[in-house]
Chains A and B, each alone.
Chain A
Amino acid sequence: MRVLTRKKWLLVISVLIIAVSLFRCSTRRQPVDFTTQVKPILNKNCITCHGGVRQKGGFSLLFREEALGKTKSGKFAVVPGDPDHSEMIRRITLNDPEDRMPYKHDPLSRQDIDILRRWIKEGAHWGEHWAYVPVKDVAVPGPATGLLKNWIKNPVDNFIGQKLEEQQLLPSSPANKETLLRRVSLDIIGMPAPRHIADKFLHDNSEQAYAILVDSLLASPHYGEKWTTMWLDLARYADTKGYERDDSRVIWRYRDWLINSFNHDKPYDKFLIEQLAGDLMPNATDDDYIATAFHRNTMTNDEGGTDNEEFRTAAVLDRVNTTWQALMGTTFGCVQCHSHPYDPFHHEDYYKFMAFFNDSRDEDTEADYPLFRTCNDSVQQQLSALTSWVKQNVSEQKAKETYTFLKTWQPAYNSLTCDSFTNSELTDTKWLAFRNHAISRLRNVDLSQKNLLIYRFLGWPKGGGTWKIHLDNINGPVIASTSFARSKENAGWQYAETALKPADGVHDLVFTYDNPLVTDSLLNAVIFDWFYFTEIFPGSGKPGYAVMKKNFWKLMTADLPTTPVMMDNPSSMHRGTFVFERGNWLVKGDKVTADVPKALNPFPTNAPRNRLGLAIWLTSKQNPLTARTMVNRVWEQVFGNGLAETLEDLGSQGVPPTHPELLDWLSYQFMNDYNWSLKKLIRTIVLSATYRQDSKVTPELLQKDPYNKYYARGARVRLSAEQIRDQALCISGVLCDSMYGPSVYPWQPPGIWLSPWNGAVWRQSKGCQQYRRGLYTYWKRSAAYPSMMTFDGVSREVCTARRIRTNTPLQALTTLNDSVYIDLARQFAKRMQKEAGVDTKQQISEGFAWATNHTIDNRSLQALVKLYETALDQFKADKDKAKKMLGEPGKEVSVETAALAVVANAILNLDEVVTKN
């Protein structure tokens, strides 16, 4: 019946399509379009030698003004309106291969030459690349035929249908309910639907059943987990700091912030503003600060002997690259060294943009300062009480300052910025250390209205000695002199304060330290972490002063959990930004101020010139890239490929979108009608008829559209590393669905972690914790979780805009043999025995259905039953093997369970199970 219907369709539609095509052929020739016709020819054949970096013969085709200029030979390569006097046309049509362009390559085709001639004749108009033009409201094309009209569920299908028609393709019939259920669950929540949601859908035969399913999935807390998983690659999230030592970093609160934000469907513009500049928002909340950990996922180099400024700079560059790559689908890294060879970005643009990020407080410190200190309720109450006391008794400004300092220990000077050492040193190139008769310098300290120095340090047990602070130079007046108390052996970091004599303005401070008790001239007696220049706790004489002062000290020294966050320098610590000549950070060129590339939307006039302004610019509806990048990414998550395949590059070197109008329509909807709601965007996509199609393919269709670029069938894509894990946990019935918190350690083979100079060990999580979703797995950059890496997970050292799916025997070996999957096979077998009756065939059939959501066919069932029998025979003959298979040596085990575990292992390896059909 279904087949007949399809054939009829085919006939009717073919006739219509032929009619339409005939009509199209008869229309007049259109003028040449620069973007779609000319630019590809230039990019393919010319721009390598005549572009931004190399301008051979003084000729560049990057910008129109360059292309129309006089070349080195004195001739004009392009004379608008006059192809016959355009040197470019002459050179590409020569016969002598020595002179003909492209040099040392095959001549251009007749068609290409014709396009270039016509383009010049028509005035050599320059078109802007599609992705740099603001998104406009696109009219939804009307369905051309009555039959497609019935197929269409929402406007997505109008766009897809139009292209199908052009390609003379027909959509596939809808996927059956079970397949669709599995597909949409994996797409929205990253794992099979919880049973109550699934059952409701399968039993609901109403029109709205599918929409209800989609809404329940979008409302599930697992939704946030799935989309966070995607975001972690972009944010280069990891639980370690990277580089050689790759020590632990506590930053999971950012991951939890993501889960919550997705689950609350925080508007995408707000979602980005908070991550880029939460700290700068008026009345920033704890969450706003935690959001900025997005850009603290850069790496920190703890290797001794490394230059902290070099790696601070590397982190800033990474923030620039990630902002462009992840949020605006643009590869900005090129511009670090020279003007972009293909896209309209200049060398200075990179550094102007970098200036937005270059004033952040972080300086490659071992502690990852600045840190945001999270308070529990009672500490938070004390803090609030203290802050309001200061507000009432001193000033609002002072209250703010106190609050910021107690939450962040900022703004402090990191001791690693000291220089000019005598008998002193940056120990392990991380902290200032004093030996006896030490001298060293801290530069450019603003002492206006400062009369107290609070510092964090490691003391020497015997204490003693005199630390003096001289103003400007070693002979300058002493503004502070202090001695150190005795301290316990291994007391750890301590805090102390010393009074400062008034000294207005900015000064270099020279430190000296002498201690007669220190007899070993090589002993590091005092080690400093940071210096905070401030005023004596304010409000002296007001009621409650003594208690509040004590509380201040208590809160400052409290041992609180921390998260690295973004914070900017106060104006007195402002850091200038310079162009790096050819990208080399040691060779500084012109000084620049913060700005955005001219080629894109202008910087909003009333926005501050800092990260907050930048975030407002980036999420402006006039920004041509932000919405398109995200829509394209969501499409890729759902269909396996972006509408523009190169998620990482929407620029002129990326693959152009297959459906540019659809990309723009969705982007416009996303920003406007949906008010940046991601859930609405996803809902629209998955409710389309396009999405709901069956993914079976016919040989004819495969030949016509091997990569499903036109969507005449549903997407068929291998699951991601995390989905494979999460799904296996669900099928086996052991998923631990607790959310949030520190990362966990599921089973991992021994010997994976062997970083030099780092004794960290993988301690396997206990009980349910080892069955948590993949996104909670502890992520060590230099030795990421091996089974996920095998399935194309990324190490997250830098932002990865797109995972490239591969298919290798090592993946097979992972799901066949990794102890995690063996363990899950055992659990799966036990679940089959427990929940699927006593008949083996029944057990296998049901187990198969849990894994694939559909009934097993006879041949497949036979194959699995045969495997069961083979295994059973072996285990009966050798019970020891059965015990080993079940991991229960020495115990009485059921050979049936062991045989079923072998079948379970096979089911978890089926193509259909690791693939989204």
Chain B
Amino acid sequence: MTQKELNDQRLVREAQQAVLRMHSRRHFIKESAMGLGALALGSFLGSCGRRDSSSMTNITFDPAHPLLPKLPPFPGKAKSVIYLHMAGAPSQLELFDYKPELMKMDGQDCPPSLLEGKRFAFIRGVPKMLGPQAKFSQRGQSGAWISDNMPHLATIADELCFLKAVTTDQFNHAPAQLMVHTGSPRLGRPSLGSWVTYGLGTENQNLPGFVVLTSGGRTPDAGKSVWGSGFLPSVYQGVQCRSEGDPVLFMKDPDGMSRDLRKASIDAINEVNSQEYTTYNDPEILSRISQYEMAYKMQISAPEVMNINDEPEYIHQMYGTKPGQACFANNVLLARRLVEKGVRFVQLFDWGWDSHGSDENLAIDVGFINKCRQSDKCITALILDLKQRGLLDETLVVWGGEFGRTPMQENREGKKMPFKGRDHHTEAFTMWMAGAGIKKGYSYGETDEIGYSTISGKVEPFDIQATILNQLGFDHEKFTYHFQGRPFRLTDTRGKVIEDILA
């Protein structure tokens, strides 16, 4: 049988199989309550291997391929998401939540009313209040308060939408990060990015649909579970792109093997697999053939997109990138490149925001300021760059930590700390969003005069998740997966779309 005949036969069979599986493949189809019937076959075309021009071949639809692009249940404003997670939890009191009253209390004992019945990670006994360690001004038309720690971001205040009254119920990093990304403080639930990839598939078959970039020298506290697929098939987990070694694990051919030799080797593998197919007729073999073709293409696309050297100088200036080094700015630029290439969900984790005051790097008046410097310029550049490329309208950018920081100075084990620091605080912190149908130059929610508790517009991680899903075209209450005898959803039994911030 010639390659052409084999191919035609394969396509017909695949189409038949597709129909059959649509009816019976439990894992991928039945379990989605919103129904993956809305399969966008056409948009898959740009990616798969051999095809000819007959109408049948337009359905280059691989039934065993779970990543094909799908339409959301309703048209969403966002096509992709860039989620910037400042791991360790940055202090809202030195960035966006301006509290002059707190300054007046600086150095005083914390009033008992703030301590009774509360649990803190490290504060013991009666700590002192710590006034804002930054200068604030109102910025732009919107008059948003932004401290001098973020001078660049201050210039684009009118693009951002602040959520000033975010709360959580987890005061340790790992569970709180899991809460933000998986809707549960325990391990085992799928992450936001996995849900999105599961629901929407990927636009660019030559790149993973859900990419994770980390900086700050550490992975987040909760480990890879914050981008894990939980009970969803593992194919939906985030793929960590690395700044050293292979951009994606095992992407690089072994030393000594040229690209054309790799091509020859994949051709040989696929030829033998085709022979096997004529004997066994199992469609899984065809599926494997196309996975090898895709792998070959991914080997070209992934290093290409991960190589920031081809960006013009002004872009490097704008982001403050350092090609060849592992740094947050490079990752932010990569995020834009990935989104541009059709990657659905880009998750950044920048480690080092845990400003307890236990050493210089973790001091609110030293290390924290450095972290701000490292991220201010590139995040600003990201928003402006997306805007100039017309991508901001369809890209949702989210910034935040896993909780906030206390208005009190930390006194670990009742002791004075060597540097100024703040403990973990769950009752009020700030996040912001931009792009993709979110109000510009807007601020939602308010905290009390010392930034301890919320007064209005309180939101929890579930609400933010619901809102992100909403912008992507999902009703978070209907977007479920059947597991362990019941339908699960990202927002568990909670979550409300924050209607007030939708443009």
- CB within 8 Å of B: which residues of A? 242-244, 246, 299, 301, 303-307, 314, 325, 331, 333-334, 340-343, 421, 425, 427, 433, 522, 524, 645, 648-649, 651, 653-655, 695-699, 702-703, 706-707, 716, 718, 749-751, 754-756, 781-783, 786-787, 789-790, 792, 794-795, 797-798, 804, 806-814, 816-819, 822, 857, 859-860, 863-864, 866-867, 870-871, 874-875, 880-887, 898, 902-903, 905-906, 909-912, 914-915, 917
Contact = CB atoms under 8 A, between A and B. Distances in A.
B480 to A, nearest CB: 11
Interface stretch (B92-100, B146-154, B273-281, B430-438): B273-281
Contact of B187 (A305, A798, A871, A905): A798
B295 A813 contact: yes
B213 to A, nearest CB: 13
B142 interface: no
12 contacts: A305-B122, A305-B172, A651-B485, A702-B13, A756-B220, A809-B295, A813-B299, A816-B265, A867-B268, A905-B254, A911-B273, A912-B273
B218 A910 contact: no
Contact of A810 (B250, B271, B281, B414): B250
B272 A884 contact: no
B223 A244 contact: yes
Contacts of A912: 272-273, 276
A810 B239 contact: yes
A698 B284 CA distance: 14
Given A425-B413, A813-B250, A911-B284, 13 more contacts: A243-B174, A303-B172, A341-B486, A343-B485, A433-B413, A649-B484, A781-B223, A782-B223, A810-B249, A810-B250, A813-B249, A813-B299, A814-B249
A427 B172 contact: no
Contacts of A910: 269, 272-273, 276
B476 interface: no
Contacts of B57: none
A806 B229 CA distance: 13
A303 B173 contact: yes
A104 B277 CA distance: 47
B344 interface: no
B234 A804 contact: yes
B478 interface: no
A343 to B, nearest CB: 7
Contacts of A702: 13, 17, 281, 283
Interface stretch (B21-29, B68-76, B467-475): B21-29
Contacts of B298: 809, 813
Contacts of A818: 249-250
B219 interface: yes
Contacts of B228: 795
Contacts of A781: 223
Contact of A795 (B120, B221, B225): B225
The 5 closest A-B pairs by CB, nearest first: A782-B223, A884-B256, A305-B121, A885-B256, A331-B484
B250 A716 contact: no
B6 to A, nearest CB: 12
Interface stretch (B78-86, B131-139, B240-248, B447-455): B240-248
A871 B264 contact: yes
Nearest to A704: B20
Nearest to A757: B221
B255 A885 contact: yes
A860 B219 CA distance: 45
Contacts of A645: 26
B16 interface: yes
Interface stretch (B285-293, B364-372, B380-388): B285-293
B366 to A, nearest CB: 19
B235 A806 contact: yes
Contacts of B261: 870-871, 874, 902
Contacts of A301: 174
B251 interface: yes
B174 A244 contact: yes
A307 to B, nearest CB: 7
B224 interface: yes
B258 A874 contact: yes
A754 B234 contact: no
B171 interface: yes
Given A649-B485, A902-B257, A755 B281 contact: no
B294 to A, nearest CB: 4
Contact of A653 (B208, B233, B415, B485): B485
A425 B248 CA distance: 45
B445 interface: no
Contacts of A864: 268, 272
Interface in B41-93: 64-67
B316 interface: no
